Amino acid sequence: MKIVDVVERAVPISSNIANAFIDFSKMNASIVAVKTDVIRNGKPVVGYGFNSNGRYAPSGILRERFIPRLLEAKSEDILNESGTNFSPEKIFDILMANEKPGGHGERTVAVGTLDMAIWDAVAKIEEVPLYKLLADQYGDGTIDEKVFVYAAGGYYFPGKGLPELQDEMKSYLDMGYSKVKMKVGGVPLKEDLKRIEAVINVVGTGQNLMVDVNGRFNLEEAIEFGNAIKDYHLFWYEEAGDPLDYQLQEELSKVYPHAMATGENLFSLQDATNLIRYAGMNPKTDFLQFDCALSYGLVEYMKILNMLEENGWSSRNCIPHGGHQMSLNIAAGLKLYGNESYPGIFQPFGGFADGHAVEDGFVTLPDAPGIGVEAKEQLYDLLKTL
């Protein structure tokens, strides 16, 4: 049993949307295929992966360091104890050989992308959906039959006014979502408050709305904004300040009385641990958004879930960033609170399996082996070109 080839390509996911920190005019992502010599259904098993939005394709380090390390590994060093499948944990160790701790940089994205493809292959070799493999081998043996998902959008866009913002949010409700997220912090406070009120008018209550600052505010601005929105009782207030400024988050936590969310730009177990140690976040109210496809993959994510449990948090505090099927599988198999979703943006990676419409804010997963990329036609059409 061996990996015969690994191929990578960068593909555009660019658009004119912007959050408070970046626009996506040059955004791209790496897609990878891990080709094995294992035959299932008469064909060699191929695992597919891609990196999540917000970080650029790590093509260079994938091609120069991580793919060669994987291809140079001896078969016995990447198989599980019984030799019946690949071991994502052993592969993680192979990939991370000769990488110093700290200063994680873009390598977390490269490893996260490969890790996704490895898990896809491993589940395909077992001939089960990844969520089932996770529940059986790493979870309590049961799955969540449906997963809470919210529609993330509300981006700034040239010429987009309040009516267009409201139409966008209405369209998410029409698709079956119950909660929506919008970008804030990119225009003056007064203007954002009008945008927030316009969206609450569509979704009915602040509890159906999250706002995302994408790390734009300093402490003073974060507190001012928090004070201005607190009476809306929003579902959460996300990434108010720099993701690594734990003190800002801690100070904000002292004065903002409702749920907050952060973590999409923390890319390692150590960074996540520091957040839990130093940022004053509250496991009774707050949400954690670590995205395995940006942060060394599911092997690292499971270490983060263990760390959370040791510190009085639960997998139910987690709603990963990224809106991809990998995290949807993790949500169903390891019992997260839910998953993000980007209806219509970051295509073809955003959204879930064809024919699995969102109903009352929940989505079901296909019964296909692996992550389920073959059940999303537009995505599979792209991946199979590798």
Ligand X SMILES: O=C([O-])CC(=O)C(=O)O
Which string of x and - marks every residue 135-174 that binds ligand X (by CB under 6 A)? Answer: -----------------x----------------------
CB 238 → Mg ion: shortest distance, Å? 5
User: With CB under 5 A as the contact rule, which of the stretches 78-86, 197-205, 211-219, 270-278 interacts with Mg ion?
Assistant: 211-219
Out of 181, 258, 321, 335, the active site residue is 321
Does residue 212 belong to the site contacting ligand X (CB under 6 A)? Answer: yes
Binding of residue 321 to ligand X (CB under 6 A): yes
Nearer to Mg ion, 212 or 300 (CB): 212
Kindly tell me which of 212 and 286 has the beta carbon lying closer to Mg ion.
Answer: 212
List the catalytic residue out of 124, 146, 179, 183: 183
Indicate the residue among 67 and 328 with the shorter CB distance to ligand X. 328
Q: For residue 366, which amino acid is it? A: P
Binding Mg ion (rule: CB under 5 A), the pick from 115, 212, 251, 271 is 212
Look-up of token digits 């505090």 = 317
Question: In the complex with ligand X, which residue's Cβ is closer, 121 or 211?
Answer: 211
The nearest distance, CB 237 to Mg ion, in angstroms, is: 11
| Least distance (Å) between residue 21 CB and ligand X | 8
- In the bound complex, what is the minimum distance in angstroms from residue 113's beta carbon to ligand X? 17
Nearer to ligand X, 126 or 340 (CB): 340
Nearest residue to ligand X on Cβ basis: 19
3-state secondary structure the chain: CCEEEEEEEEEECCCCCECCCCECCCCEEEEEEEEEEEEECCEEEEEEEECCCCCCCCHHHHHHHHHHHHHHCCHHHCECCCCCCECHHHHHHHHCCCCCCCCCCCHHHHHHHHHHHHHHHHHHHHCCEHHHHHHHHCCCCCCCCEEEEEEECCCECCCCCHHHHHHHHHHHHHHCCCCEEEECCCCCHHHHHHHHHHHHHHHCCHHHEEEECCCCCCHHHHHHHHHHHHHHCCCEEECCCCCCCHHHHHHHHHHCCCCEEECCCCCCHHHHHHHHHHCCCCCCCCEECCCHHHCCHHHHHHHHHHHHHHCCCCHHHECCCCCCHHHHHHHHHHCCCEEEECCCCCCCCCCCCCCCCCECCEEECCCCCECCHHHCHHHHHHHCCC
By CB under 6 A, what part of segment 239-298 binds ligand X?
Answer: 264
Residue of 36, 51, 30, 39 whose CA lies nearest to 6: 36
Burial annotation 365-379 (CB, 10 A radius, 16+ → b, else e): bbebbbbbbbbbeeb
Would you count residue 120 as binding Mg ion (CB under 5 A)? no
Q: Is 321 a catalytic residue?
A: yes
Pick from 214, 253, 329, 364: which binds ligand X (CB under 6 A)?
214
Q: Residue 213 binds which one of ligand X, Mg ion, none, with CB within 5 to 8 A depending on kind?
A: none
Rule CB under 6 A: choose which of 8, 115, 251, 340 binds ligand X: 340
Residue 213 makes contact with ligand X by CB under 6 A:
no
Return all residues near 269 (Cβ < 8 A) that are at least 6 apart.
Answer: 300, 303, 304, 307
Residue from 49, 54, 58, 153 binding ligand X (CB under 6 A): 54
Question: Which of these ranges, 27-35, 133-141, 207-215, 266-274, lies near Mg ion under the rule CB under 5 A?
Answer: 207-215
**258 part of the active site:** no
Minimum gap (Å) between residue 268 Cβ and Mg ion:
18
Contact between 87 and ligand X per CB under 6 A: no
Residues labelled as active-site residues: 183, 321
Footprint of ligand X (CB under 6 A):
19, 54, 152, 212, 214, 264, 321, 340
